[in-house]
Structure 1
Amino acid sequence: MSDLEFLSLERELTLFLRRARATSGEMAREVHPDLEPAAYGLLVRLDESGPQRATELAAYIGVGKATMSRQLHALEVLGLVTREPDPADGRAWLLRLTDEGRGRFRAVREARRARYVRRLADWDRGEVAELARLLRRLNAETG
């Protein structure tokens, strides 16, 4: 690749990330008006992976313990997440979505998916799959 291709990649990723941040903020507010945009990713992870320890969530998202603790506390106060004892280690806690948290999150996520379907209606399904594959690869290599 030439430098021009990397500059083009940087420009497009910068624009994409700026728009993604704005969209995450909107989606967080749709789940709950007081939900921080950064906490939306925690809901995604808990919905997809089930109950997890705070340390696992922090490592996955890439934040420190203090940030994770603050975000999880806010989610608990909003009634979106609850703690339960870890059956594998009685000293540890697992966090999981509450029924309300799961319902709110899934409704918002389904609306977002529908927007993607509309926006990418002219794309071939193979192109959508390829974009997802490339983004997954990028995330794996930069995470």
Structure 2
Amino acid sequence: MDTPEIYDPQDLGRRQQMAAARRQRESARLALLDDLLDAQRRADGLKRWIAALSCPENGDPHPELQRMAGWANAQLDTLERTLSPEQIAATVRERDLFPNVDPLDDPKGEPPCARIWGHSAALWHINAA
């Protein structure tokens, strides 16, 4: 009886490692997106805060607040550089999150679970024979 290709232990192990790497990469993608969204919210908040601070109600700006606004502007500049399309693209490239040719692509689809009834898929096939 021929061993189905899906149960070849070496091939199955390689495919399961690729699937684990795909899951890890997806987690990294989601983490980057969360970081970018948090940075965008913070930048938007800083813009609103700085704009409100630059228009004091009594017309007399407080020197301490002006220094704080200058510091906040520097923080905003850093965030905006981080959120620039060029910087995001560089980060994505550096982390290899969206490769042009995906080395983790499995043309056979997702491999079966590593364990079936307490045995590896390869052992399950051997025991069934």
TM-score (norm 2): 0.32
Report which of the two structures shows the higher radius of gyration computed on alpha carbons. Answer: 2
